[in-house]
A and B are shown apart, each in its own frame.
Chain A
Amino acid sequence: MTFESVLFIDPEDRAAAETAEMPDFFGDLNLDQVIEDILAQKREYDLAPYFYAPLHDGDTIRYRQEVMRDLEDDALLQGLKTFAERMHAARGHARLAANLDYRHHRHGWYLEAIVVYTEAVTHLVRDLARADLRSRALLEFRNTVTDYASSDGFMSLYTETKKLKADLSSIRYCLLIRDNGITVRRYDGEIDYSAEVERTFARFRRDAAENQLSTTFSVAGMSDVEEEILTVVAKMYPSVFRALSDFCERHVDYLNETLNVFDREIQFYISYLEYIAKLRRAGLPFCYPRVSDESKTVYAYGGFDLALAAKRVPDGAEVVLNDFRLDGQERILVVSGPNQGGKTTFARMFGQLHYLARLGCLVPAREAQLYLYDSIFVQFEREERIQNLRGRLQDDLIRVHDILSQATPDSIVLLNEIFTSTTQQDAALLSKEIMQSIAQLDLLCVWVTFIEELASASAKTVSMVSTMRPDNPTFRTYRIVRKSADGLAYAMSIARKHRLTYELLKDRIGR
């Protein structure tokens, strides 16, 4: 059996990932919220390390992208979710059985665990067979699990389980409850009285397929009286119950290890896809980025901040999409413009896109090409810490210095409103110095600043500006654009904005 992992090509990467810790910049990029939300529903799988360990080589990134692409087939994804639910249920049933004393009850639950496990396996094999798989990982996994499912050991487990379950389910008995006694005996074809009542009043029903309330009562555990009834029933059907206890003794160890590992690892993809599903339903785009460690031409069209989108979409609020592109020798996006116009969000988006790309995930953009960086360094304005005796400016300088001394030409640096606690002139001077170092290192950088002259400080800079609505300068668009002026005839521009000009309106009606 050659198959190892749906997450890693190199087993060493896999071992190293298990001990990964949350990267420093997670909080600044709000990735901590994103990953926390992703993990929240999946605690039992301990997925955090996988999300904290970005990949180092393009091949493994593509290895994962292939799997995620395969999982975009809804039927397959649904199949895998059901597989996970069944595995979860099987574990639960077995745990429950271990805690029960009454023999017939304990055996019943243990049988249930194996029933669910065999269902999990057979359905998984079927779903994988139907899927049009392209990924190396899943193709190989399919071979492995298909072999297992057709092995003699599994086949006999499967048939035996089915037969036992069918035999038990076919048992039906009657209880007559009267005064202080319960009389037990076999069922003798008496008619269903509820159905009779329903039939009488059925003519008032609006649609015939209405379902009834569930009549399930407490699930696990049995009272003395119930045990007594079951004991009577077991005496009525001795061979079935003997077969059951024999079965439980023979199958103490039934779980396959490859499946166990797969069950955990595949949740990396499922949890991420589930997380972004609601955003996609709201119309937000996701794509598989091209990731290169050679070209520093990076771009994203229709990108957005995942954490912000996850907050806004449930409220039905709009999520603004932004573009960026660094071409040729361009390396540095200098973002200026009105406050609270989405500049920080823009910088976060840049960082998130790159990080998520290295996890091998879909990224929040319509189309993207990204750089396989080695480290991300983030300097966002933080609240002043009292115990820190240095002044704020000094603090900023030290941190930037640290960043620049650690950064390699393959790094990404995100700077947000640094040097705010000094005069404008000083800040400009210092910033230009830093800019030079960044340019020399050939770093990819997003720099949010109020110092507009930085935008043209180097041949490597590109100026981006947060914009206001042209018709109403008090409304922000949260759109960050390469700066350009626009002038429209006033009233008609509002009409155009509402898509009410002749051509636009004509196009809208009746489609």
Chain B
Amino acid sequence: MKIRLMHRAQQFDVQQAPPSHAAALTQDLELDTLLNAMAGRDRFLKRVARQVLLLGLDDADAIRYRQEILRDCLNNPSVVRDLYRIATESAEHRSRRWMGIYSRYPSVMLKSSLGMLQTLVRQLAKLRVIADRHGGAFESDGFTTFFDTVREELDDEFFARAREHLRELRFRDGVLVSVELGVGNKGTHHVLRQANDAKRGWLRRFLGRLRPTHTIRIHHRDEAGARVLSQLTDAGVASVANALAQSADHIEECLKTLRTELAFYVGCLTLYERLSQLGAPVAFPQPVPRGERSHHAVGLYDLALTLTLRQRVVGNDLAADGKDLMIITGANQGGKSTFLRSIGLAQLMMQAGTFVPAESFRANICVGLYTHYRREEDATMESGKLDEELGRMSAIADRIMPDALVLLNESFAATNEREGSEIARQIIRALLERRVKVFFVTHLYQFAHDLHSNRVAATAFLRAERRSNGTRTFKIYEGEPLQTSYGKDLYSEVFGSEQ
């Protein structure tokens, strides 16, 4: 049974290895704050959501496929949560009662598989009921296909057959097994057989029609003999026990798949409701093909800060279509890092197929998002620090592809400004020539100023606002790099206003 709610043509692989820079992304973008808001105490959901965010889509059509499904979810929240609950219940059931399945003894395994299947078939019946009652209210390609599948695969005949098997496999008339001669003439390939005419006294037919037969009696005190008897029975039912256990596994797997495919949307539902309560707006973003360059936002705000402060925070506008390098300068504590994080989160969320924290947002799709933030730890030796920082940059270079997006936050500052600027110049030049898009928060004024003087068209210069009285608005505007930010002017400005 195919469930395709995350991708049009395949199911979501939650086991997929996250990109090797996932830890840095998680830390730099405060991803856990977002994930906790989505998942609450549901650790499974959190794990899936993390994977979905880290393994974003790079195709606009695939993104819109999820956006439509998410719209359906926002319109039918309780039905979606019911589906998720059905899928979740069976997983919990497993952890309580499933242990017997992997028994070494096929007859034990058979018994416990039968019990398990009975429960699972009940869960499937519930799914069918939801499909019949509520399927019509869903409009997205993903959900209509899903409900069609449920109605087709879980038809009445399936339920009838399944219940019949569950009844017959109690073996009231003994076990019929076919055997072949294997290595050393020992019996092998034991296969459980259904007699040719199961309905009409097959036992009599078996005994009567085909001679010669020979019956070996085991004396009731012959323990060794009894052991062999049960071994043979086990060999006979092994394949069917196996088939049953696997069937149970497959259904389980199927329900787990459903749970996986729904988890992210349920998380989005929860997040949507939280943000609505705070009066914070969200918008479905408009993905632009990866070859183009676009970044346009109205009221883009930082989700991590919003969720932490539990209130609406300042949003920023950005008009950077056609730009591939954004240099962000300006005073400390002016909201540069927050802005950079909102850029990163919006990109991840867009490519995960969900809404973004903004009034409107569009950006080109990127192939991989990388963050390179200055780390404060390990301040033992200056040399070690630059080394460490460039080591991380090099790890990014190992993976990065054209059309990637890189967020640099005060990178290359672990040496003097002249050297740092030179390193930055070379790295940025190489990145841009390989069509990597860059947001760079920096205090390297020499570097930023040189860029500005060269008037490169595809570069945008942004600056954190700082009013002349020293107060910060946490707003980011277009503006050239300030050369004198740490110079005398600023010093006297600050001290002057205090006197």
Residues of A whose CB lies within 8 Å of any CB of B are 96, 104-105, 107-109, 112, 168-169, 171-198, 200-201, 203-206, 210, 212-213, 215-217, 219-220, 222-226, 228-230, 232-233, 236, 471-472, 490-492, 494-495, 497-503, 505-506, 508-510
Q: CA separation between A230 and B179, bound complex, in Å?
A: 11
Contact of B419 among A105, A491, A508 (CB under 8 A): A491
Check if B242 sits within 8 Å of A168, measured CB to CB: no
Residue ID in chain A nearest B433 by CB atoms: A506
Check if B427 sits within 8 Å of A188, measured CB to CB: no
Binds A, one of B186-194, B301-309, B344-352, B467-475: B186-194
Most chain B CB neighbours (cut-off 10 Å) among A179, A213, A226? A213
Minimum CB–CB distance from A490 to chain B (whole Å) comes to: 8
Residue ID in chain B nearest A115 by CB atoms: B183
Contact of A174 among B177, B391, B430 (CB under 8 A): B177
Check if A228 sits within 8 Å of B216, measured CB to CB: yes
Contact of B243 among A182, A198, A206, A500 (CB under 8 A): A198
Minimum CB–CB distance from B113 to chain A (whole Å) comes to: 10
Instruction: Specify which chain B residues have a CB less than 8 angstroms from the CB of A508 in the assembled complex.
Output: 397-398
8 more contacts with CB within 8 A, not counting A184-B213, A197-B244, are A171-B181, A178-B174, A179-B174, A184-B214, A212-B243, A492-B422, A500-B427, A505-B431
Instruction: Specify which chain B residues have a CB less than 8 angstroms from the CB of A503 in the assembled complex.
Output: 430
The answer to whether the Cβ of B314 comes within 8 Å of any Cβ in the partner chain is: no
Instruction: Specify which chain A residues have a CB less than 8 angstroms from the CB of B240 in the assembled complex.
Output: 193-194, 197
Q: CA separation between A393 and B326, bound complex, in Å?
A: 70
Check if A506 sits within 8 Å of B434, measured CB to CB: yes
Contact of B193 among A182, A191, A216 (CB under 8 A): A191
Assuming the A-B contacts A204-B251, A222-B186, A500-B427, are A186 and B180 also in contact, with contact meaning beta carbons closer than 8 angstroms in the complex?
no
Instruction: Specify which chain A residues have a CB less than 8 angstroms from the CB of B217 in the assembled complex.
Output: 180-181
Check if B178 sits within 8 Å of A502, measured CB to CB: no
Assuming the A-B contacts A185-B210, A194-B192, A500-B393, are A509 and B216 also in contact, with contact meaning beta carbons closer than 8 angstroms in the complex?
no
Total A-B pairs in contact (CB under 8 Å)?
A: 265
Instruction: Specify which chain B residues have a CB less than 8 angstroms from the CB of A219 in the assembled complex.
Output: 183-184, 186
Q: Which 9 A-B pairs have the closest CB atoms?
A: A178-B174, A108-B185, A201-B247, A204-B250, A190-B193, A491-B419, A108-B184, A498-B394, A505-B430
Minimum CB–CB distance from A313 to chain B (whole Å) comes to: 21
Instruction: Specify which chain B residues have a CB less than 8 angstroms from the CB of A217 in the assembled complex.
Output: 231, 235
Contact of A494 among B210, B228, B386 (CB under 8 A): B386
Instruction: Specify which chain B residues have a CB less than 8 angstroms from the CB of A194 in the assembled complex.
Output: 191-192, 239-240, 242-243
Q: CA separation between A501 and B425, bound complex, in Å?
A: 9
**B207-249 CB contact bits vs A (8 Å, 1 = yes)?**
1001111111111100011111101110110111011101100
Chain B interface mostly: helix
Q: CA separation between A340 and B490, bound complex, in Å?
A: 53
Contact of B194 among A190, A205, A509 (CB under 8 A): A190
Contact of A185 among B1, B192, B212 (CB under 8 A): B212
Minimum CB–CB distance from A9 to chain B (whole Å) comes to: 42
Assuming the A-B contacts A225-B216, A502-B429, A510-B402, are A204 and B194 also in contact, with contact meaning beta carbons closer than 8 angstroms in the complex?
no
The answer to whether the Cβ of B384 comes within 8 Å of any Cβ in the partner chain is: yes
Check if B236 sits within 8 Å of A175, measured CB to CB: yes
Residue ID in chain A nearest B250 by CB atoms: A204
Most chain A CB neighbours (cut-off 10 Å) among B216, B242, B251? B216
Instruction: Specify which chain B residues have a CB less than 8 angstroms from the CB of A168 in the assembled complex.
Output: 181, 185
Check if A491 sits within 8 Å of B386, measured CB to CB: yes
Residue ID in chain B nearest A499 by CB atoms: B394
Report 28 cross-chain contacts, Cβ distance below 8 Å, ordered by A residue: A108-B184, A109-B184, A175-B178, A183-B213, A184-B214, A198-B246, A201-B162, A201-B250, A204-B1, A206-B250, A212-B239, A212-B243, A215-B242, A223-B227, A224-B225, A225-B229, A229-B187, A471-B387, A491-B386, A494-B387, A495-B390, A498-B390, A500-B393, A500-B427, A505-B397, A505-B430, A506-B433, A509-B400
The answer to whether the Cβ of B423 comes within 8 Å of any Cβ in the partner chain is: yes
Instruction: Specify which chain B residues have a CB less than 8 angstroms from the CB of A222 in the assembled complex.
Output: 186
Q: CA separation between A320 and B214, bound complex, in Å?
A: 72
Instruction: Specify which chain B residues have a CB less than 8 angstroms from the CB of A224 in the assembled complex.
Output: 224-225, 228
Residue ID in chain B nearest A495 by CB atoms: B423
Residue ID in chain B nearest A240 by CB atoms: B181
Q: CA separation between A198 and B239, bound complex, in Å?
A: 10
Residue ID in chain B nearest A213 by CB atoms: B242
Most chain B CB neighbours (cut-off 10 Å) among A177, A179, A503? A177
Instruction: Specify which chain A residues have a CB less than 8 angstroms from the CB of B79 in the assembled complex.
Output: none
Q: CA separation between A394 and B401, bound complex, in Å?
A: 65
Check if B210 sits within 8 Å of A188, measured CB to CB: yes
Contact of A186 among B210, B216, B431 (CB under 8 A): B210
Residue ID in chain A nearest B404 by CB atoms: A509
Instruction: Specify which chain A residues have a CB less than 8 angstroms from the CB of B191 in the assembled complex.
Output: 192, 194
Check if A190 sits within 8 Å of B398, measured CB to CB: no
Assuming the A-B contacts A107-B185, A200-B162, A213-B242, are A189 and B231 also in contact, with contact meaning beta carbons closer than 8 angstroms in the complex?
no
Assuming the A-B contacts A176-B176, A181-B218, are A204 and B232 also in contact, with contact meaning beta carbons closer than 8 angstroms in the complex?
no
Minimum CB–CB distance from A196 to chain B (whole Å) comes to: 7
Check if A108 sits within 8 Å of B426, measured CB to CB: no
**B388-418 CB contact bits vs A (8 Å, 1 = yes)?**
0011011001101110000000000001100
Check if B430 sits within 8 Å of A502, measured CB to CB: yes
Check if B402 sits within 8 Å of A509, measured CB to CB: yes
The answer to whether the Cβ of B97 comes within 8 Å of any Cβ in the partner chain is: no
Minimum CB–CB distance from B24 to chain A (whole Å) comes to: 16
Check if B187 sits within 8 Å of A491, measured CB to CB: no
Q: CA separation between A183 and B175, bound complex, in Å?
A: 11
Q: CA separation between A107 and B181, bound complex, in Å?
A: 13
Check if B175 sits within 8 Å of A178, measured CB to CB: yes
Instruction: Specify which chain A residues have a CB less than 8 angstroms from the CB of B177 in the assembled complex.
Output: 174-177
Q: CA separation between A172 and B182, bound complex, in Å?
A: 10
Q: CA separation between A192 and B184, bound complex, in Å?
A: 25
Check if A177 sits within 8 Å of B232, measured CB to CB: yes
Minimum CB–CB distance from A218 to chain B (whole Å) comes to: 9
Contact of B175 among A177, A223, A494, A502 (CB under 8 A): A177
Check if B186 sits within 8 Å of A226, measured CB to CB: yes
Q: CA separation between A494 and B235, bound complex, in Å?
A: 66
Instruction: Specify which chain B residues have a CB less than 8 angstroms from the CB of A229 in the assembled complex.
Output: 187, 216
Assuming the A-B contacts A183-B215, A223-B224, A471-B383, are A112 and B183 also in contact, with contact meaning beta carbons closer than 8 angstroms in the complex?
yes
Minimum CB–CB distance from A117 to chain B (whole Å) comes to: 14
Minimum CB–CB distance from A155 to chain B (whole Å) comes to: 24
Instruction: Specify which chain B residues have a CB less than 8 angstroms from the CB of A510 in the assembled complex.
Output: 400-402, 434
Residue ID in chain A nearest B162 by CB atoms: A200
Check if B214 sits within 8 Å of A232, measured CB to CB: yes
Most chain B CB neighbours (cut-off 10 Å) among A201, A215, A225, A471? A201
Q: CA separation between A190 and B390, bound complex, in Å?
A: 71
Residue ID in chain B nearest A502 by CB atoms: B426
Instruction: Specify which chain A residues have a CB less than 8 angstroms from the CB of B178 in the assembled complex.
Output: 172-175, 187, 190
The answer to whether the Cβ of B491 comes within 8 Å of any Cβ in the partner chain is: no
Check if B394 sits within 8 Å of A105, measured CB to CB: no
Q: CA separation between A491 and B382, bound complex, in Å?
A: 11
